[in-house]
Amino acid sequence: MVAVDWYYLMFVFFFAGGLSVFFGGRHSGKINYVAHGLAALGCLATILCAIFVFRQGALEFPLPLSLPFGVMTARVDLLAAFFLLLIGVGGLAASVYAMGYSKEYYGNRYGLMTGLFNVFLLSMVMVITVSHVAAFVIAWEVMSIVSFLLVNFEYEKPANTRAAFVYIVMTHVGTIFIISAFLLLTVAAGSMDFIRFDGSALSATTRNIVFLCAFVGFGTKAGMIPLHIWLPQAHPVAPSHISALMSGVMIKTAIYGMCRFFLDFLGAGPVWWGGLILAIAILSCVLGVLYALMENDLKRLLAYSSVENIGIMLLGIGSGMIFMSKGEPLMAGLSWSAVLYHAFNHAVFKSLLFMGAGAVLQSTHTKDIERLGGLIKKMPYTAVFFLVGAATIAALPPLNGFISEWLTFQALFLLPQAVSGVAAKLAGMVLIALLGLTGALAAACFVKAFGIAFLAKPRSLRAENAQEVSYIMLAPMAGLAVLCVLLGVWPQGMITLISSVLADFSGLHAGELLSANWYSIAFTGANAGGLSIPLTIGILLIGVLIAVGLSHLYGSPRTIKGETWTCGIVPTSHMQYTATGFSGPIRRVFHSVLRPQRETIVDEIDTNHYFGRRLSYQVAITYVFNDMVYRPINRTILLTARFMKTIQAGSLQLYIGYIMAVTVLVLIWNAGW
């Protein structure tokens, strides 16, 4: 079979799965396995299609769909194939996981959920593979609307509807910009086919406008700050397998769009393009991870961490574009490799983490970390997989998050050499420091997420009664965890793949990333550097060995089982470190950014005279951009609407009066006053 066959097969599977919307709430048990099975098969076909494209070269064929905009072509070049692979892997895991997870939703509207799940996957594949403006925009809209419906699936809860509404508004604002960017290119090229688009034919101003439109449009979908407000609201309220898909896979379609525009259509541009991207990127990184660290809702914490990771990818994109405009193909290749590698890694570990959070949610029915605790004893497998995901996202070697963040760091280290001017060089160095800070805060964030949720004593009855989830949910998590390790200890495969993807584009060169040395990443040029995986693992092992050796040397290990000694009283879960307490020091350090508002309620009535009083402590942080950007916009729109309302008075006579006035005016105007 060839790639085209797999492509059509994928289409058939997803389409058949999508038909399950017609079942409504009937036959939930069968629909679950059939629809999600079809989705899994479709994802497998997607993966195979991508693999065949990688082996046999780019694919191009007319789609048997006729639109009134000319012939529609599907074009799966290597870049598209790479993102197909990403969708396939994330989608496959989510589909299998859904078979177990979605059992909670049996009954009313269940068929709708499974069907939309398939359509969602199909729309993402279409976004990546079509090579025609109209088709792209349609697929993009379908993707947005289907994900909106999935976010709003439990519409009985008012919070969900609100989140979904914010999502649909923001995503459409982004779509406006994307369409503008496409139309400017279309007008210049005289064709709606992607292959005719050529940024160098545009005037400098038009190119800048296209760049800004594409960046804002796709940036909204990616969830970069300050256009991120929908992401932390929408991702947590969707069912967890959908969250995994949205956070892990859907926001990568935006990264794909940026790659397509910046690498394919526009090519190397002025330096300020890269500079702008870098500024937004570092903002997303630092603020994203800070908000994540402050969050006590497990899924919202993961959503904010997605903002941070998008920031890391944007750092790669920004530095890549600066290198391209400075004529440094090798460094540009390094940066873009970091972007693609991190995109893939993020899809893997963020899906894994959302699935872990979903497992916790299913067995405890709460997302609030303050009410969890001690889950490692009740749910050992979930805990291990979540731990792998948490270590990966904190960029610990030898896991895959480390590799891509290391690549990003290398790109940033080279950045000050490429740019000219003291201020620019300094800014480049500040970026490195801030990315370092981001990494440290991310580590703290996931220590909090894992430590408070899985360790110590259960903080509520629900956490105490938690049970391990079914194997069908554990299996995809295990697969993704293995992938995390595999992509970390053996980055060669992925690096080779990315080099072949990037070979298609001019202005960069990623061929030398892989050195001849065994298991290492190295690049030639003036500043040769490298990362040797065996060496890294060796150092790690030596460290562990030393630690173990020292502990054996200075005292014989003995195991004594018993309660922790707490001055004679029985330890309770109230004595434990809380999630809010854990993030307290950081809240204090970043006081000026987060502007926490604390409220302490003291109950003076002595319920227990040994302790004297009861404390209720609440803390809320201020989201700078909500206050600075979105509130004023909201207020302006409301004021304008109120003004417009006076025109719309509801009086029939007044409306006719408008018509009459316009008629008379037009007549007089026409007669030439």
Partner 1 sequence: MNLLTVLLLFTAMVLSRVSNLRTAVKILLFQSIMVTVACLQAGWNTGEAHMYIAAVLTVLIKAGLIPFALFRVVKILRREREANPILGPTNSFVASAMLIVMAYWLIDRQLPGVLSRDALAASVSLVLIGLLLIMTRRQAVMQIIGLITMENGLYLLGLSVTMGLPLVIELGIFLDVLVAVVVLVILTYRLKLSFMTTDTSVLKKLKG
Binding site for partner 1 (CB under 8 A): 648-653, 656-657, 659-660, 663-664, 667-668, 670-672
Q: Between 56 and 648, name the residue whose CB sits nearer to partner 1.
A: 648
Q: How far apart are CA 254 and CA 249, in angstroms?
A: 10
> Closest Cα to residue 514, out of 526, 498, 536?
498
Q: What angle do CA 143, 247, 93 make, to 5 degrees?
A: 90
Burial class from Cβ neighbours inside 10 Å (0-12, 13-18, 19+) for residue 595 reads middle
For 100, the token pair is 């177990």
Q: How far apart are CA 461 and CA 363, in angstroms?
A: 12
Question: Is 388 in contact with 487 (CB distance < 8 Å)?
Answer: no
Rounded to the nearest whole angstrom, what is the least distance from the CB of residue 650 to partner 1 in the complex?
3
Q: Between 608 and 651, name the residue whose CB sits nearer to partner 1.
A: 651
Q: Between 27 and 645, name the residue whose CB sits nearer to partner 1.
A: 645
Residues 6+ apart with CB under 8 A from 411: 315, 316, 319, 320, 323, 331, 334, 335, 338
Rounded to the nearest whole angstrom, what is the least distance from the CB of residue 643 to partner 1 in the complex?
16
Q: Between 570 and 652, name the residue whose CB sits nearer to partner 1.
A: 652
Q: Between 493 and 657, name the residue whose CB sits nearer to partner 1.
A: 657
Q: How crowded is residue 274: how many other Cβ atoms within 10 Å of its Cβ? A: 28
Q: Between 187 and 656, name the residue whose CB sits nearer to partner 1.
A: 656
Q: Tell me which DSSP letter residue 554 carries.
A: T
Q: What angle do CA 582, 233, 293 make, to 5 degrees?
A: 15
Instruction: Fill in the amino acid letter for 581.
Output: G
Element (H or E) spanning 60, and its range? strand 59-62
Which residues on adjacent β-strands are paired with residue 297? 368
Q: Give yes or no for a cis peptide into 68 (omega within 30° of 0).
A: no
Rounded to the nearest whole angstrom, what is the least distance from the CB of residue 184 to partner 1 in the complex?
40
Q: Between 67 and 664, name the residue whose CB sits nearer to partner 1.
A: 664
Rounded to the nearest whole angstrom, what is the least distance from the CB of residue 655 to partner 1 in the complex?
9
β-pairing, 597-603 vs 614-620, is antiparallel
Rounded to the nearest whole angstrom, what is the least distance from the CB of residue 639 to partner 1 in the complex?
19
* Alpha helix ranges (H) inside 152-297: 158-189, 204-222, 231-237, 240-245, 251-259, 271-294
Q: Between 516 and 652, name the residue whose CB sits nearer to partner 1.
A: 652
Q: Between 433 and 664, name the residue whose CB sits nearer to partner 1.
A: 664
> Closest Cα to residue 582, out of 439, 406, 455?
455
Rounded to the nearest whole angstrom, what is the least distance from the CB of residue 642 to partner 1 in the complex?
14
Rounded to the nearest whole angstrom, what is the least distance from the CB of residue 670 to partner 1 in the complex?
7
Distances (CA, A) of 595 to 196, 290, 589: 50, 12, 10
Q: How crowded is residue 71: how many other Cβ atoms within 10 Å of its Cβ? A: 12
Backbone angles phi, psi at 61, to 5 degrees: -155, 150
Rounded to the nearest whole angstrom, what is the least distance from the CB of residue 671 to partner 1 in the complex?
4
Rounded to the nearest whole angstrom, what is the least distance from the CB of residue 227 to partner 1 in the complex?
32
Q: Between 572 and 663, name the residue whose CB sits nearer to partner 1.
A: 663
Rounded to the nearest whole angstrom, what is the least distance from the CB of residue 646 to partner 1 in the complex?
12
Q: Between 535 and 660, name the residue whose CB sits nearer to partner 1.
A: 660
Cα maximum dimension of the chain: 106
Q: Between 158 and 650, name the residue whose CB sits nearer to partner 1.
A: 650
Rounded to the nearest whole angstrom, what is the least distance from the CB of residue 638 to partner 1 in the complex?
16
Rounded to the nearest whole angstrom, what is the least distance from the CB of residue 432 to partner 1 in the complex?
56
Q: Between 548 and 664, name the residue whose CB sits nearer to partner 1.
A: 664
Rounded to the nearest whole angstrom, what is the least distance from the CB of residue 660 to partner 1 in the complex?
5
Rounded to the nearest whole angstrom, what is the least distance from the CB of residue 667 to partner 1 in the complex?
6
Taken in order 504, 510, 516, 521, the sign of the CA dihedral is negative
Q: How crowded is residue 241: how many other Cβ atoms within 10 Å of its Cβ? A: 28
Rounded to the nearest whole angstrom, what is the least distance from the CB of residue 668 to partner 1 in the complex?
8
Q: How crowded is residue 39: how many other Cβ atoms within 10 Å of its Cβ? A: 31
Rounded to the nearest whole angstrom, what is the least distance from the CB of residue 645 to partner 1 in the complex?
9
Backbone angles phi, psi at 159, to 5 degrees: -60, -35
Q: Between 471 and 658, name the residue whose CB sits nearer to partner 1.
A: 658
For 600, the token pair is 């302490």
For 559, the token pair is 């195991």
Rounded to the nearest whole angstrom, what is the least distance from the CB of residue 665 to partner 1 in the complex?
12
Q: Between 560 and 652, name the residue whose CB sits nearer to partner 1.
A: 652
Residues 6+ apart with CB under 8 A from 38: 13, 14, 16, 17, 118
Q: Between 540 and 641, name the residue whose CB sits nearer to partner 1.
A: 641
Q: How far apart are CA 369 and CA 451, in angstroms?
A: 10
For 33, the token pair is 């396995």
Taken in order 37, 39, 40, 41, the sign of the CA dihedral is positive
Q: What angle do CA 352, 354, 359 make, to 5 degrees?
A: 95
β-pairing, 529-532 vs 520-523, is antiparallel
Q: What angle do CA 637, 638, 643 make, to 5 degrees?
A: 100
* For the chain, the helix, strand and coil percentages under 3-state DSSP, each to the nearest 5: 75, 5, 20
Q: Between 565 and 673, name the residue whose CB sits nearer to partner 1.
A: 673
Question: Is 598 in contact with 618 (CB distance < 8 Å)?
Answer: yes
